[in-house]
Amino acid sequence: MDRDKNDTSSNSGIAGGFAGCITRFICQPLDVLKIRFQLQVEPLSEQHVTSKYRTIAQSTRLVYREEGLRAFWKGHNPAQVLSIIYGVAQFSSYERFNHLLRTVDTFERHQSGRNFVCGALSGTFATVITLPLDVVRTRLISQDPGKGYRSSVQGLKLIYTYEGVRGLYRGLGPSVLQIAPLTGGQFMFYNIFGSMFRQYFNISANETLPAIELFICGGLAGLCTKLLVYPLDLAKKRLQIQGFAKSRQTYGRHFVCDNMFNCLYNIAKQEGMIGLYKGLYPALLKACFMSAFYFAIYDEMVLILNH
């Protein structure tokens, strides 16, 4: 879909929330594996038999054997609420920012730049609103069975009680730093790939791309942007489990850091530069599928709602 179409903010919000809900459910198992890989200090390699998680296949079998099928949807409830709120906030604010920036002559002439700025602003706005849910989701996924929080509501209450507002916003720095280029890049690459498809298949700007092309554009956009900002996502996850060591004692060594820069430095020092990309494979799969489903479902929903 051409991002310049005058969709109403309400339709964009509904479509964004619906798209976020469906894609989160589909991709949650990959998210569980990604987060566990990111939080493991020991190497992710078949050669390191002392590491709990070594490969995607081995980890999938291990999680299923130790915790059952439901473990792949750990943290799903806060993640689902997060996706809905995030989707509504992101897409509705994107359309508002887009409408506002079109009144600026520079952005009116440069569509890719406008898409990037609008995506970055809307992503940052949505991230600040939903970060507490992301913190509790990460902890639910990473805690030992039978320990930690019984539910996301209890988790939010306990974090606020013992760690204050700061605890609910652990990892805010890398979250904001990564979300601007990540979300802005997604919208920018999505529109670039969409324009390429239109040109190649001779589809006019007034016509909607077929679902398969929307899916491919979204997948490529997610893949390109995730590669650029991945170390920041890793730092965010490591920061979110600080002060939570007692509830995750079966996952190997606990990583300690004070802030984003200290976190990145310690990872590189203790685990090597490759450590900054732990969990990259499931992360790329997740980013590719989530972005593809997200944009494809969103565009189809907007089309339905507008008619």
Q: CB neighbours of 264 closer than 8 A, spacing ≥ 6?
A: 231, 235, 276
Contact 294, 91 (CB under 8 A): no
Structure confidence at residue 1 as a pLDDT band (50, 70, 90): very low
* Tens-place pLDDT, residues 87-100: 888 888 988 998 88
**pLDDT over 80 (residue 120):** yes
How much is the pLDDT for 54? 94
Tokens of 86: 């995030």
Q: Is the pLDDT of residue 267 over 50?
A: yes
> Looking at residue 5, what is its pLDDT?
47
Please state, in angstroms and rounded to a whole number, the distance separating the CA atoms of residues 121 and 71.
34
Averaged confidence pLDDT in the chain = 88
Query: Which tokens is 159 given?
Result: 């974090």
For residue 240, report the phi and psi dihedrals to the nearest 5 degrees.
-70, -20
Using the predicted structure, report yes or no on whether residue 145 has a pLDDT greater than 50.
Answer: yes
% of the chain at pLDDT higher than 90: 48
The pLDDT, as a whole number, for residue 273 is 93
Q: Give dist(CA 55, CA 72) in Å, integer.
A: 16
Question: How does pLDDT run across 51-107, given as a tens digit for each residue?
Answer: 999 999 999 999 999 999 999 999 999 989 988 888 888 888 988 998 888 888 778
Dihedrals φ, ψ of 11, to 5°? Answer: -65, -40
**What per-residue confidence (pLDDT) applies to 4?**
47
For the stretch 162-209, pLDDT in tens is 999 999 999 999 998 987 777 778 888 888 999 998 998 888 878 888
- Rg of the chain over all Cα atoms, to the nearest angstrom: 20
Check pLDDT > 50 for residue 287. yes
- Give me the helices (H) in the chain, please: 9-39, 56-67, 76-101, 105-109, 111-142, 152-168, 172-201, 211-240, 260-271, 280-305
- pLDDT > 80? residue 27: yes
Contact 9, 96 (CB under 8 A): yes
Q: Six-digit token pair at 97? A: 């920012």
What domains are defined for the chain? 9-305 (1.50.40.10)
- Find the distance separating the first CA and the last CA of the chain, reported in whole Å: 14
Q: CA–CA distance from 179 to each of 16, 159, 171, 184 (Å)?
A: 17, 24, 12, 8
Per-residue model confidence as pLDDT tens digits over 203-254: 887 888 888 888 888 888 888 888 878 999 999 999 999 999 999 998 989 9
Residue 44's closest CA among 262, 252, 302, 269?
252
CB atoms within 10 A of CB 81: 17
**Cα(270)–Cα(282) distance, integer angstroms:** 22
- Judge whether residue 133 has pLDDT over 90: yes
